[in-house]
Amino acid sequence: MSAGELESGNAGEPAKLIRQRYREASDIIKKGKMCCLFINDLDAGAGRMGGTTQYTVNNQMVNATLMNIADNPTNVQLPGMYNKQENPRVPVIVTGNDFSTLYAPLIRDGRMEKFYWAPTREDRIGVCLGIFRTDNMPQEDIVKLVDTFPGQSIDFFGALRARVYDDEVRKWITDIGVEKVGRRLVNSIEGPPTFEQPKMTIEKLLEYGNMLVQEQENVKRVQLADKYLSEAALGDANKDQIERGTFQG
């Protein structure tokens, strides 16, 4: 399940869906196969991100349903269905970025076993070796790349690789012309375009890495708008009225 399925225009629908998916996984286990219920980004769908986040009936029922499943994993019923026969227990695995936004009783010890993944340098190098496996990059280049950006997430290195492929697409668009892209892609007798695998070089990846870091720094400048307004022409023209609280602009 994704976090987007934890909200609905119909009250109680997401909680019912969780129970339904759980029972479907339970039926698979009954047939002798391994199965689990996996919920991606639970905090995005059922957490409170701040004062501006609306807390709905569905948020409340999702939390309550997951708590009930954790307490009674072999007795999960659908609405209007009360079967005394126990169902096989299904492991429920959830991912998230900030579990402090979830309902506190849900994440307490005994209901939820928590694992915080903080990859070591060796872990990051191993994952990056997998990311660039088909690109024939020397291991020493990947080690250099990881060591150059030690504070970045694993997704950062996947984004670097994607940037190189994006360049190939941009080059193709430039070669055929923007006005011909639609005819070339939709119902073309030539078939879909094919691309040669681009060559990954440490120099190019380091260049893109520094560009991404700069983009991150731009996003972090939360006072950018205030800085712009204060430095713009007439930026401080109404400063005295703003301080007195009489400015109506």
The contacts of residue 177 (CB under 8 Å, 6+ apart) are: none
43, 128: one domain:
no
142, 97: one domain:
no
Backbone phi, psi, residue 20, to 5°: -65, -45
Beta bridge partner(s), residue 37: 92
Contact 92, 70 (CB under 8 A): yes
Q: Which of 96, 156, 95, 146 is nearest to 123 (CA)?
A: 146
98, 178: one domain:
no
Q: Which stretch of DSSP H or E encloses residue 37?
A: strand 37-39
pLDDT in the model for residue 34:
96
Place of tokens 């996947």: 158
7, 87: one domain:
yes
pTM, two decimals, is: 0.68
Q: Tens place of pLDDT for every residue, the chain, 249 residues?
A: 998 898 888 888 999 999 999 999 999 999 999 999 999 999 888 887 766 566 778 888 999 999 999 999 999 988 777 777 889 999 999 999 888 888 899 999 989 999 988 889 999 999 999 999 998 899 999 999 999 998 888 899 999 999 999 998 999 888 888 888 888 888 878 888 888 888 889 999 999 999 999 888 877 775 555 555 555 544 454 555 556 665 555
126, 45: one domain:
no
Q: Write out the residue range of the structural domain in which residue 40 sits.
A: 3-106
Total number of domains in the chain: 2
Tokens of 170: 């941009």
46, 97: one domain:
yes
In degrees, rounded to 5, the angle at the alpha carbon of residue 54 between the alpha carbons of residues 48 and 60 is 65
